[in-house]
């Protein structure tokens, strides 16, 4: 069972509770993000085929999930990796703005 950062299930029963709080669509979003490369075609095609929605809606939900403790409990490695990528992207954008 996934755990919160620095959280053991014995010490904090809220770990299991947080994982259970994710909606099915949120879980499906995280699962797709973790394994989209397994599907033939592009990531956008996998989003449309598997979740039946536009990629823009998927990415908005994914961005919000990165700040959700329940998402971190469900997929800690994925969420931390995506948070690091987001932080690097934001840092590079602010660096360009300052240099310009």
Range of the domain at 27: 23-99
The C-alpha atoms of residue 54 and residue 65 are separated, in whole angstroms, by: 17
Q: How many domains is the chain partitioned into structurally?
A: 1
Question: Is residue 3 in a domain?
Answer: no
pTM: 0.71
48: left (phi over 0), alpha (psi -120 to 50) or beta: alpha
Question: Is residue 66 in a domain?
Answer: yes
Question: Is residue 12 in a domain?
Answer: no
Q: Distance of CA 44 to CAs 47, 51, 55, 86, Å? A: 5, 10, 6, 19
pLDDT of residue 40: 83
Question: Is residue 1 in a domain?
Answer: no
For the stretch 5-39, pLDDT in tens is: 334 344 345 455 555 679 999 999 999 999 988 88
Task: Tell me how long the chain is.
Answer: 100
pLDDT of residue 41: 86
Question: Is residue 18 in a domain?
Answer: no
Q: What are the counts of helices (DSSP H) followed by strands (DSSP E) for the chain?
A: 6, 0
- CA proximity to 46, closest of 63, 61, 64, 28: 28
The C-alpha atoms of residue 71 and residue 21 are separated, in whole angstroms, by: 9
The C-alpha atoms of residue 22 and residue 61 are separated, in whole angstroms, by: 12
For the stretch 56-83, pLDDT in tens is: 999 999 999 999 999 999 999 999 999 9
């Amino acid at each position: 069972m996934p755990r919160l950062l620095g959280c053991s299930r014995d010490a904090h029963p809220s770990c299991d509770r947080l994982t259970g709080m994710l909606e099915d669509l949120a879980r499906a979003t995280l699962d797709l993000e973790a394994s989209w490369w397994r599907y033939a075609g592009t990531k956008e095609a996998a989003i449309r085929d598997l979740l039946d929605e536009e990629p823009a809606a998927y990415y908005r939900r994914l961005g919000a999930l990165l700040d959700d403790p329940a998402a971190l409990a469900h997929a800690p490695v994925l969420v931390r990796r995506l948070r690091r990528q987001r932080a690097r992207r934001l840092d590079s954008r602010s660096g360009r703005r300052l240099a310009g």
